[in-house]
Amino acid sequence: LFSTLHFLNVLVSRITIIKDTKVPNACLFTLNKEDHTLGNIIRQQLLKDPQVLFAGYKVPHPLEHKIVIRVQTTPDYSPQEAFTNAITDLISELSLLEERFRVAIKDKQEGIE
């Protein structure tokens, strides 16, 4: 739980949100001090949401350590809501993976296959 809250606090402190005026229901989320690793996993999670019409990311320049994620949603669902739900779902998936990994290590140490 602590690591999840810590991750959220760190992520929130590194993010800026700008409304995209070129298309309806779209925002640009800039994540500082992040790279393709987080950009791709967030994009993939966003695309699992049926109310997300578009999700993509870019690294503006290789020497800049930031990513820009563009999210467009259906009219009754905000991009901020989609982004928050994607992050929450990712944290849940990673927590489950961590728990399964710990159980597998414990089973291996105890000789259970």
**Which range marks the domain in which residue 48 is found?**
2-109
Give the whole-angstrom CA distance, residue 13 versus residue 40: 20
User: Average pLDDT, stretch 45-70?
Assistant: 96
Cβ neighbours of residue 65 under 8 Å, at least 6 residues apart? 32, 33, 34, 35
Q: Which residue has the higher pLDDT, 44 or 9?
A: 44
Supply the CATH number for residue 88's domain.
3.30.1360.10
In this prediction, residue 55 carries a pLDDT of 98
Structural domains counted in the chain: 1
In this prediction, residue 106 carries a pLDDT of 92
In this prediction, residue 9 carries a pLDDT of 67
In this prediction, residue 89 carries a pLDDT of 93
